[in-house]
Chain A
Amino acid sequence: MARPFTPKVITANDLIEGDVIYFKADDSWTRDLAEAELIVDEAEAQLRLLDAEKQNISIVGAYLADAKAGEHGPEPVHFREDFRRKGPSNYSHGKQEALANV
């Protein structure tokens, strides 16, 4: 039996800022993983990746990352994506810094 498909989000880096961005259901980008579109179908994931790559003029390196549904939206499965969502652990920089400033 084929392995069950792990849900995905599409993520990339912003061309100018270089920071982590996520693809939303309305084809725009967000800096908050919880607002990303969670894609649960494998074929759909490939199509959505093509949609995302249409915006390659302003993003870099879009890819599908494993994610799971959480209470407030998609959550990371792997620790790498968890770091990308928050920022480094040695300083409170990156996304965690922006959050601390709200």
Chain B
Amino acid sequence: MYKYNAFDEAFLAERNAQFRAQVARRVDGSLTEDEFKPLRLMNGVYLQLHAYMLRVAIPYGTLNSAQMRQLALLAEKWDKGYGHFTTRQNIQYNWPKLNDIPDMLDALGEVGLHAIQTSGNTIRNTTADHFAGAAADELTDPRPYAELIRQWSTDHPEFQFLGRKFKIGITGSPNDRAVVKAHDVGLRMVEQDGEIGFEVIVGGGLGRTPMVGKVIRDFLPQADLLPYLEAVLSVYNVLGRRDNKYKARIKITVQENGIEKIRELVEARFEERRGEFDGTDQELLAEIKTHFTPPALRSGSTEAYQAAYETDPVFRAWADTNLAEHRDSDHAIVTISIKAHGATPGDASAEQMRVMADLAQELGYDELRISHQQNVILPHVHKNDLPAIHARLKEASLATANIGLISDIIACPGMDYCALATARSIPVAQEIATRFDELKLEHDIGHLQIKISGCINACGHHHVAHIGILGLDRAGVENYQITLGGDATETAAIGTRTGPGFAYDEIVPAVERLVETYLAIRTGEEETFLETYRRLGMEPFKTALYPEAQKKVA
């Protein structure tokens, strides 16, 4: 993985020292909150409902064991013993004290982590496929490009005061696991005439005006990545609206000007910019790539795995849901669920972080990934080590076999933490997971994604969920709207609202009715919820959700 050089280290230390001084000046009164707020936001420090929150970037979702242990240390030393992994491959600490945050940032710096550009109207943490470097379907590892983007965008003077935040997502596989179509710019690796390049997608986003991104360039040679991104950003910087915060994202710029016009402008700007690049970026990329050489995978028999699979039903259930295909057939990709039934999605205790770090170090080539689904991944595991890993995960309450199932829910912090929330999302997720665990239906139901946001900002990705739940405030009480048919993959789609919302104590029964309906009308076990919805549309689900309305019509 990428290792900081002397320049990176000095830059980070300097940046942390600046922030320490800014905190001191706020505390002694030399800075007002209005002056301090943009400074703290640039360093990932938010003020939420009950406390400050520190958001730490996990660039392209990649961690080594030392970094994971450091995250555990922060949780224990300066927080309440846990951290919250988010959909944007960040970790959030919900309880730091302002005075402690400079120390936390220094501790992160020791292992090459930081909180820069995790907030503000800048280019945010570039997110990547969490199976990068390991997936069987991958053309090439996208992370060197993500690292190149990070180095180019960090403190880039032209892009520190964009009209709005700017998010880039990248995947090296045709199967999109990084939701690239819901990013301001999505990059999807494609192959053309034996050459690898990017399909560039622009103008995707969730929030109050959800949109699936549009292809602006079918094929961009990989060497042109930075000049092309500069062209996109520069066109956005000029055309993007600054008069209205809700119309400031590039998705609106694309919508208002049309993709053709944007494409024309970007291409023209690209011609200019390309000349300014003298090849240094390609030298840097070549250097970065040396940090991402794949681990030397060991070979050997997978008999122990086969034996456990055949004899231990608990192991088998876990293997069936939590393993993904590795490019090496003796290896597997392990997804560790940090969504035990009834627990807060995405939360891991310091102890659990250490267990995962140990496993990565001892049996996983020292690599860990964080997924936008709020789970942790061991990307390279020899199959014979799987039974041992499963056993140790079990001891740490980390062996829940629910990846891709109804209890593998994405939930934003919602009203339990977030100052912008209009309703809670975490307890809704907890109750849905608990309920379907009681019903013992989850494996029958199969692949089904529920995603919950506590307000229209859609941090919980509800628009691209098979069943999306949006918490609102209706006349001073929590009310939950349901959308169906969203899709977060390469066939991305925004879900459709079913109708009126449901009160807090009606939302779990409503989801149950949806699932019962699906089970009753699917053609068979192999037809997923999304496929059934696509085949039959909204009607059967509406009937199940609103029996009263149906009676009135009848």
Contact = CB atoms under 8 A, between A and B. Distances in A.
Interface of A: 13, 15-20, 56-57, 60-61, 77-80, 83-84, 87-91, 93-95
Interface string B470-513: 00010011100000000000000000000000000000000000
Contacts of B477: 79
B318 interface: no
A90 B426 contact: yes
B97 A61 contact: no
B80 interface: yes
Contacts of A90: 344, 416, 426-427, 430
Contact of A57 (B29, B417, B426): B29
Given A15-B98, A93-B95, A20 B33 contact: no
Contact of A84 (B49, B80, B476, B478): B49
The 6 closest A-B pairs by CB, nearest first: A88-B416, A18-B52, A18-B51, A57-B29, A94-B50, A90-B426
B415 A83 contact: yes
A59 to B, nearest CB: 9
A20 B99 contact: no
B415 A60 contact: no
Nearest to A82: B415
Main SS at interface, chain A: loop
Given A17-B97, A20-B50, A78 B416 contact: no
B97 A80 contact: no
Interface of B: 26-27, 29, 32-33, 47-52, 80, 94-99, 344, 415-417, 421, 424, 426-427, 430, 473, 476-478
Contacts of B95: 93
A16 B415 contact: no
A39 to B, nearest CB: 20
Nearest to A84: B49
Contacts of A19: 50-51
A60 B27 CA distance: 11
A33 to B, nearest CB: 13
Nearest to B423: A79
Contact of B33 (A18, A56, A89): A56
Contacts of A87: 50
B32 A56 contact: yes
Nearest to A80: B415
Contacts, number: 70
A87 B51 CA distance: 10
B100 to A, nearest CB: 9
A83 B478 contact: no
Contact of B99 (A16, A56, A84): A16
A94 B97 CA distance: 13
A88 B98 contact: no
Given A17-B97, A77-B476, 7 more contacts: A15-B98, A18-B51, A61-B47, A84-B49, A90-B416, A90-B427, A93-B94
Contacts of B344: 90-91
A45 B415 CA distance: 26
A88 B426 CA distance: 10
Contacts of B29: 57
A2 to B, nearest CB: 20
Given A16-B99, A18-B51, A79 B33 contact: no
A16 B27 contact: yes
A83 B417 CA distance: 9
A57 B35 CA distance: 12
Given A16-B97, A93-B80, A93-B95, A88 B476 contact: no
A74 to B, nearest CB: 17
Given A78-B476, A83-B49, A16 B98 contact: yes
B50 A88 contact: yes
Contacts of A94: 50-51
Contacts of B421: 80
Contacts of B430: 90
A91 B51 CA distance: 14
B98 A84 contact: no
Nearest to A87: B50
Given A18-B47, A19-B51, A78-B476, A88 B97 contact: no
B379 to A, nearest CB: 29
Contacts of B47: 13, 18, 60-61
A60 to B, nearest CB: 5
A46 to B, nearest CB: 20
Contact of A61 (B33, B96, B473): B33
A18 B97 contact: yes
Contacts of A89: 416, 424, 426-427
Nearest to B29: A57
B50 A18 contact: yes
A61 B52 CA distance: 13
B174 to A, nearest CB: 37
Nearest to B30: A57
Nearest to B101: A18
Contact of B51 (A17, A78, A83): A17
Nearest to B411: A90
Nearest to B80: A93
Contacts of B50: 18-20, 84, 87-88, 93-95
A102 to B, nearest CB: 18
A15 B27 contact: yes
Contacts of B476: 77-79
Contacts of B52: 18
Most buried by A among B27, B51, B80, B473: B51
11 contacts: A15-B98, A18-B97, A57-B29, A78-B476, A79-B476, A80-B415, A80-B421, A80-B473, A84-B50, A88-B50, A91-B344
Contacts of B33: 56, 60-61
A3 to B, nearest CB: 15
A40 to B, nearest CB: 20
A20 B49 contact: yes
